[in-house]
Amino acid sequence: MPKAFSIRSGGSPADRALVPAADADHHCESRHDLSRRAFLGTTGMLFAWAAAPRLARAEGRDPRLLVVVLRGALDGLSFAAPVGDPAYAGLRGAIALQASGDNAARQLDGFFALHPAMPQLHGLYQAKQAVIVHAVASPYRERSHFDGQDLLESGTEKLGFHDSGWLNRALQTLAPGDRIARRPAIGVGPLVPLVARGRAPVMAWQPQTLPPAGDDLSNRLIALYRHTDPALAEILERRADRDVGKVTTEGARRQTAYVVQALTGAASFLARPDGPRVGALALDGFDTHANEGGATGQLANRLAAIDQALGEARTILGPAWNETVIAFVTEFGRTARVNGTEGTDHGTATVAVLAGGAVKGGRVVADWPGLAPADLHEGRDLKPTTDLRAVLKGVLRDHLAADPRQLAETVFPGSLAIRPMDGLIG
């Protein structure tokens, strides 16, 4: 089996040296064991940068696609607040965003307003380079982070062991001579996200700044020890409950530094004339059960970090920005009602966001279900009206020229009835 490689931190991302990593081990666990992401290495061959083909830019399009997985379940009702829905303010209570006044949400279309922590994204929206798809969800309808993330990244409808992700399988369907297929993708982070794993070649790169341990890591440890050491699991759970929602200044600084390095590092690779054209990374920290905050606070800090990184990535990509799509996705949303600790619990529908010069933007795409009690999913969540796979299929078909039949049968198996969404790419 070929050795895996990762790119050593230090210096500019595209010039960092490659060092051997341990061979990847594959483990099949039950649904309730520690997520396989803690054990799986990158599947497929990871190529040294020097071995990657140096391809000249040809005539015609040269698209780039970066998939950013926001783990923990992003609150779509705070990301793009439906301030025009009469039930919104009452459900959200102390964390409701305001349409006017200090720290007001940024108006999008008169009904939806963007979180005030995201001026860069708002500027892209106004420049018609960003689309927000609301009331969107994967096929998953339960509320387990582990299962939700696995189905989101694998692109399948069934729970179980998945050793490849939909993005990697999409690369496998492209013609062998395609400039995208002839280059390794880039996977960013301590482990390459599942969405990018598979038989298509993937390079791994780790930012110099390590992500701070957060709720996602705590939940995974608790799930592991619940089966092997219940007493320790109980101690960890009590500590997690005590500390939930606490964000130290140092922790927030490290989180922002990691987000910026991860996203701009990926952009540096995609910007190279001979570099990858497809990449993926995952960001933790969106499990806002307590002290979520409204215009300011815990979630606002996370969104501000993403917004800063997005602005810097646009600068790094330069002319390549015009042929770039950055897709932000999450495993599910959060409850419509604020809970007793001024947070939100695991929900269903949320938002998906596309940003980039290749996006036909300036729109919120939504078949809005409403937030009245009778309109909520199971009486508690924003009801899903758009399948996330339709959004992703539309991007893959119109941006990477992926075959629709392959998208339905191989990339997102069992999704023949889900039509690709039209009009997302300019």
Which two tokens mark 83?
């301030």
Domains and CATH numbers, the chain: 64-411 (3.40.720)
Residue 143's pLDDT is what? 92
Alpha helices, DSSP H, located in 174-229: 215-228
The reported pLDDT for the residue numbered 217 is 56
Return the axis-axis angle of helices 298-317 and 249-271, rounded to nearest 10°: 20
The distance between the two most distant Cα atoms of the chain, rounded to a whole number of Å, is 63
Q: How far apart are CA 290 and CA 240, in angstroms?
A: 11
Please spell the DSSP secondary structure of 36-72, one letter per residue: GGGTB---SPPPPGGGS------SS---EEEEEEETT
Angle at 82 (CA atoms; ends 80, 86), nearest 5 degrees: 165
Report how far residue 57's alpha carbon sits from residue 53's, in angstroms, rounded to the nearest whole number: 12
**What is the full per-residue pLDDT of the chain (426 aa) written as tens digits?**
223 333 323 334 443 333 333 333 333 333 333 333 333 333 333 333 333 333 333 347 899 999 999 999 999 999 999 999 999 999 999 999 999 999 999 999 999 999 999 999 999 999 999 999 999 999 999 999 999 999 999 999 988 888 999 999 999 999 887 889 889 999 999 899 999 999 999 999 999 887 765 555 555 566 566 667 888 867 766 666 555 555 557 767 888 999 999 999 999 999 999 999 999 999 999 999 999 999 999 999 999 999 999 999 999 999 999 999 999 999 999 999 999 999 999 999 999 999 999 999 999 999 999 999 999 999 999 999 999 999 999 999 999 999 999 999 999 999 999 999 999 999
Quote the pLDDT of residue 266: 98
Centroid of chain to Cα 393: 16
288 DSSP 8-state letter:
-
DSSP single-letter state for residue 236: H
pLDDT of residue 229: 80
Closest CA to 327 of 166, 150, 112: 166
Residue 81 has phi, psi (to 5 degrees) of -75, 130
Give the pLDDT confidence score for residue 227 in this predicted structure.
66
Place of tokens 């969404």: 421
pLDDT of residue 13: 40
pLDDT at res. 208:
86
